[in-house]
Amino acid sequence: MIAEDAIEDTGPREFTVLYREDAAFGRYEPSDGAYIGAWLIPEMTIREFEHETGRSHAVYVYEIVLGEEIPVSWLLHCIASVATPLFIVHPPENFEDVSEIDLIIQLAQQLGAFNLPMFITFYPEGHGMMPAEYSLLFRNARNIFLTHAPMSAFVWTAPAGTSQNYYPGHSAVDWVAVSLLAEWKDDGFTDVLAEFDEFYNAFHENKPIMIFPFGVSHYSRNDYTYRVNQAADEISRLYDALDSYPRVGLIVYGDALTLLRAYSNDFSVSIESQLLNAYGNAIQNEYFLSSLERKTIENFRWVRSAYTGYFFEDEIYISQNTLQNELNFFSANLIEINENFFTEASEIDEKNIYVCYQQHVIYVDNLP
C-alpha cells in the first residue's frame, strides 16, 4: 500500500474520483450536475436577471391560483429564453361556481396546449387539509395532468411544520422539494445544510430533490440589521457545498422572498449589487446547468467520491476509503487492486476523463 506522505513527496497528480451508482432517474432529472432556477421579484425580467448574473437559468417560477388566467406572456418569455416553467398552484378562495376537479382539468388543458416540459408544485402548503385528503387530491391532480399535460412533472413540497404523513407516495410524485432559507440567528446563519441532511437521506434513494426556495437573508426585522457582506459569503459557501448532494437536481433561488412576502427577512439578491454579483459568481461553476435535460439517459449516475484519486507514473490509484466505504470493495493493497481491476486509462471527451471500465470508476482532472 502507498503511504499518503510518500504520495505527497513524489508529486502525483490529483484527480477527482467519480464512481458509478445504479439508479432510476426521475423525469427530467439531470444525469450529472444540478439545474439552476430563480423565483424573481415582479420588477425583474428573465432577460435582465440573466444579463446581471451572467448565466441562463433552466427554470423560472410563477404562482397561479386555480381558476385564474394562465400567464401566456410569461410563458412565451420562458420559451424565448429556453427556460422551463415551474408553477406553484394554489387553490381558489371558494368553489361557488365550479368544482375543484373541474378547475384542475381546466388548468391542465390550458398548460398542456403549450406542449412544454414544466414542473407543477401543487398546493405546497397543504392549505389546512388532513394528510389523507391532501394525498388523494394530489394523486388525482397528477393523473389529470398526465392526461392533459403529459410533459409535466409533479413536485411534492414538504409543507412547513408537517410530517411525511402528507407525502402522497412514490408513485404519485416525480420530484420532492424542500425550502432552505438561511436566517441570521445570534452570531451566525442557521445551518440549513445540517437541516437538509435529514430530508435528503429520507428521499434521495427514490426521488430527485429540488431545493425550492433557496435563499440567504441579508436583512432581518428581528434586529433591523443589514448583513450584506455576510450574506454574500454565505451564498458562495452554500452553492459550493451543493455538489456533495448528487440527487439534488434543481436549486431555485427565492429572489421574490422580500420583506413583502417573507415578512421578517429579505432573501432577494437582485436589489443589492453585491449579492447579485456573489450569486452570479457562485453559479458560474459548470456543475450548475442552464437548460433542461430531456434526452434518454442510462439507469445509473456518476457520484463524486469524498476522497481524492491519484495518477502517478502512468498508473491510477484510488483511496481505500473509496473502495471500502463507497464501492464496498475490500483489499489491503492498492497496487494489486490497480493491476487486477483496472484497464488501461484512456482519454475521452474534452474533459481529460480517465475511465476504469471494470470497476466503473472515472477520474476527472481539475473538476471544479
Residues 41-50 pLDDT 10s: 999 999 999 9
Mean pLDDT of 94-122: 89
Going by C-beta distance under 8 Å and a sequence separation of 6 or more, which residues neighbour residue 285?
Answer: 239, 240, 243, 368
Residues 168-185 pLDDT 10s: 999 899 999 999 999 998
pLDDT value of position 166: 87
Q: Cis before residue 91, ω within 30 degrees of 0? A: no
pLDDT value of position 16: 74
Lowest mean pLDDT among 3-7, 224-228, 266-270: 3-7
pLDDT value of position 362: 47
Mean pLDDT of 78-105: 87
The answer on pLDDT for 248 being more than 90 is yes
Exposed, middle or buried: residue 71 (CB in 10 Å: 0-12, 13-18, 19+)? middle
Lowest mean pLDDT among 89-103, 121-135, 230-244, 319-333: 319-333
Residues 317-343 pLDDT 10s: 666 666 666 666 544 333 333 333 333
pLDDT value of position 72: 97
Mean pLDDT of 58-72: 96
Distance CA 267, CA 42 (A): 14
Mean pLDDT of 340-351: 32
Distance CA 275, CA 133 (A): 41
Structural domains of the chain in order of their starting residue, each with its CATH number:
4-22+300-364 (no CATH), 34-289 (3.20.20.80)
Residues 185-194 pLDDT 10s: 888 999 999 9
User: Residues 143, 144, 150, 153: what is their CA dihedral angle, to the nearest 10 degrees?
Assistant: -60
The answer on pLDDT for 268 being more than 90 is yes
